[in-house]
């Protein structure tokens, strides 16, 4: 089958971030079952598959169908026993957990891939004029244009502030609402022009592209990236075998906060209010963070791959429940 150009795996594929650190901390061994829940171009998967040393299996998940040709290439080149499940990772992990699936390593490498950003028609990039789309799953119901045309001024401002930390959220939201009285937003170029015109002249230079933060915020909202992560973590934990490892690479402080809080809560176990004299919930610790702090890319990695700059890697090892407590894997 001939693939359209945008779907042809190419030499300029996504460069996997914190790849050696992921490999070392996930510590995949021969015969393991690995879930790469954000397959993308399969860069991380390829390294993890090498550690399976010809025995074991890899489940690849991605909500974007354009990851599939990369998966086919991965399967051919590694020869590893592998399956591709197209879908949103929280939903797919939930289904796998419900079916009693068990795994030794799970990876979530969040956000978009370079291939998605480099396909202009996907609308992720502020650098080219294209449809204002931004859906990782092209069959999902809501595009960035829908949000920009339909959210009210206050909602737009909140999205830009919360997910983009955009200083000029209010002015940009107001400018959008004013412009859409005359025409609806269909193209990224319209949004970029509106943002440029809404912010003070000095802010148009020197802090990166003026539309960068609004585009990031819309992408997070369109794809419900934070909600998806919140739902995926408990499902991933349920799937892990005792001793199994979960690695999450995040690129946004709100994502990292979700991961950090989840790890802390699972390390603690007990959910009783702090003023209770003794535990009545009986919840046991179920994960241990290794190491305790987030891992960041080295200066050399950032120089090689500027996209890695904001990356944070956190890893948790599933701890065995005490014998006879009826825990998840008992």
Ligand X SMILES: C[S@@+](CC[C@H](N)C(=O)[O-])C[C@H]1O[C@@H](n2cnc3c(N)ncnc32)[C@H](O)[C@@H]1O
Strand partners for 313: 249, 295
190 binds ligand X (CB under 6 A): no
What does the per-residue mask of binding to ligand X show for 90-129, with x meaning CB under 6 A?
-------------------x-xxx----------------
Inter-CA distances, 169 with 127, 157, 205, 322, Å: 20, 5, 17, 50
Strand partners for 287: 318
287 binds ligand X (CB under 6 A): no
Q: Parallel, antiparallel, or unpaired for β 312-318 and 240-250?
A: antiparallel
Q: What is the 3-state secondary structure (H, E, C) of the chain?
A: CCCCHHHCCCCCCCCCCCHHHHHHHHCCCCCCEEEECCCCCCHHHHHHHHHHCCCCEEEEEECCHHHHHHHHHHHHHHCCEEEEEECCHHHHHHHHHHCCCCEEEEEEECCCCHHHHHCHHHCCCCCCCCECCCCCCCCCCCCHHHHHHHCCHHHHHHHHHHHHCCCCHHHHHHHHHHHCCCCCCCEHHHHHHHHHHHCCHHHHCCCCCCCHHHHHHHHHHHCCHHHHHHHHHHHHHHHEEEEEEEEEEECCHHHHHHHHHHHHHHHHCCCCCCCCCCCCCCCCCCEEECCCCCECCCHHHHHHCHHHCCCEEEEEEECCCCCCCCCCCC
Judged by CB under 6 A, the residue of 71, 89, 168, 215 near ligand X is 89
In the complex with ligand X, the residue whose CB is nearer, 101 or 283, is: 101
Which 125-144 positions form the footprint of ligand X (CB under 6 A)? Answer: 136
The least distance separating ligand X from the CB of residue 300, rounded to whole angstroms, comes to: 18
Name the residue with the smallest CB distance to ligand X: 40
84 binds ligand X (CB under 6 A): no
219 binds ligand X (CB under 6 A): no
The least distance separating ligand X from the CB of residue 63, rounded to whole angstroms, comes to: 4
Judged by CB under 6 A, the residue of 34, 35, 59, 67 near ligand X is 67
43 binds ligand X (CB under 6 A): yes
Stretch that binds ligand X, among 62-70, 142-150, 257-265, 318-326 (CB under 6 A): 62-70
Stretch that binds ligand X, among 63-71, 127-135, 197-205, 285-293 (CB under 6 A): 63-71
The least distance separating ligand X from the CB of residue 267, rounded to whole angstroms, comes to: 24
221 binds ligand X (CB under 6 A): no
In the complex with ligand X, the residue whose CB is nearer, 33 or 194, is: 33
Stretch that binds ligand X, among 56-64, 143-151, 206-214, 316-324 (CB under 6 A): 56-64
Judged by CB under 6 A, the residue of 21, 32, 62, 301 near ligand X is 62
The least distance separating ligand X from the CB of residue 304, rounded to whole angstroms, comes to: 14
88 binds ligand X (CB under 6 A): yes
Stretch that binds ligand X, among 60-68, 155-163, 172-180, 185-193 (CB under 6 A): 60-68
User: Please, is 250 exposed, middle or buried when counting C-beta atoms within 10 Å of its C-beta (0-12, 13-18, 19+)?
Assistant: buried
23 binds ligand X (CB under 6 A): no
Q: Which residues are at the interface with ligand X (CB under 6 A)? A: 14, 16, 38, 40-44, 61-64, 67, 88-89, 109, 111-113, 136, 228
């Amino acid at each position: 089958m001939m693939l359209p150009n945008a779907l042809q795996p190419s030499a300029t594929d996504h460069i996997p971030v914190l790849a050696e650190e992921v490999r070392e901390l996930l510590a995949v061994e021969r015969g393991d079952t690995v879930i790469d829940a954000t397959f993308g171009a399969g860069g991380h998967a390829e390294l993890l598959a090498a550690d399976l040393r010809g025995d074991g299996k890899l489940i690849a998940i991605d909500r974007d169908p354009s990851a599939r040709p990369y998966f086919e290439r991965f399967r051919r080149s590694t020869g590893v026993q592998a399956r591709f499940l197209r879908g949103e990772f929280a939903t797919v992990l939930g289904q796998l957990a419900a079916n009693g699936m068990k795994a030794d390593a799970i990876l979530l490498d969040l956000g978009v891939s370079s291939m998605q950003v480099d396909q202009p028609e996907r609308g992720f990039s502020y650098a080219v004029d294209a449809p204002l789309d931004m859906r990782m799953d092209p069959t999902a119901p809501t595009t960035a244009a829908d949000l920009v045309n339909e959210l009210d001024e206050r909602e737009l401002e909140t999205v830009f502030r919360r997910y983009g930390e955009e200083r000029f959220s209010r002015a940009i939201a107001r400018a959008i609402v004013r412009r859409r009285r005359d025409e609806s937003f269909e193209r990224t170029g319209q949004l970029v022009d509106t943002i440029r015109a809404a912010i003070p002249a000095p802010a148009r230079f020197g802090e990166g592209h003026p539309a960068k933060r609004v585009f990031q915020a819309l992408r997070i909202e369109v794809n419900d990236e934070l909600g998806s992560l919140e739902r995926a973590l408990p499902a991933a934990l349920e799937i892990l075998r005792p001793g199994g490892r979960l690695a999450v690479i995040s690129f946004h402080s709100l994502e990292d906060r979700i991961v950090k809080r989840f790890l802390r809560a699972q390390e603690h176990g007990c959910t009783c209010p702090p003023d209770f004299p003794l535990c009545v919930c009986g919840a046991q610790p179920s994960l241990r963070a290794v190491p305790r702090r987030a891992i960041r890319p080295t200066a050399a990695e950032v120089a090689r791959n500027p996209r890695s700059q904001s990356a944070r890697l956190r890893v948790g090892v599933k701890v065995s429940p005490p014998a006879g407590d009826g825990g998840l894997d008992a």
